[in-house]
Amino acid sequence: MAIEVDARSKRERRGPKLWRVDAPPGSHAEIFRAARAAGVRLGWLELETTVAMPADLEEAASAGVLRAVAVAGGRSVAVKPMAGEPVLRDLLREHFRGCKAVLVRGAVEAEELRRVEGGWKVGEGEAVSAEELIADL
């Protein structure tokens, strides 16, 4: 079942633009570089992932903590127990504040972003460069 995008208008929502993707993060490196050069923050969201959570963090989350966090090597990872199915609006608010767009890999109702000859295409739009894609945000 796909997570639905909030039905409110874009103006009311004020959240990041969502792009559904199928390819892994490395396939979008050109977009990430263009965003970084333009000072635009992007996010990446994996839905329905099979990635195993770090054992110690999973144990802490299962024991009832609000959130278990590990930090090392300039990165952090957090594990938070959830009651029920994820709510996209809540995920975006909690994890992607300040992002202009979030690339979502998984079942979500959003326009598809894909690599095409001549650049990148969102939905049925025209092919554009990574820089144009970011500038349009």
Residues 6+ apart with CB under 8 A from 61: 53, 67, 68, 79, 80, 81
Say if residue 90 is in the same domain as residue 41.
yes
Residue-number span of the structural domain to which 73 is assigned:
51-82
SS3 per-residue string spanning the chain: CCECCCCCCHHHHCCCEEEEECCCHHHHHHHHHHHHHHCCCEEEEECCCCCCCCHHHHHHHHHCCCCEEEEECCEEEEECCCCCCCCHHHHHHHHCCCCCEEEEECCECCEEEEEECCEEEECCCCCECHHHHHHCC
Say if residue 9 is in the same domain as residue 25.
yes
Percent of the chain residues past pLDDT 70, beyond the cut: 91
Domain count, the chain: 2
pLDDT in tens, 27-39: 999 999 999 999 9
pLDDT in tens, 81-116: 888 888 999 999 999 999 999 999 999 999 999 999
Predicted pLDDT of residue 82: 86
Predicted pLDDT of residue 63: 95
Say if residue 3 is in the same domain as residue 40.
yes
Say if residue 6 is in the same domain as residue 43.
yes
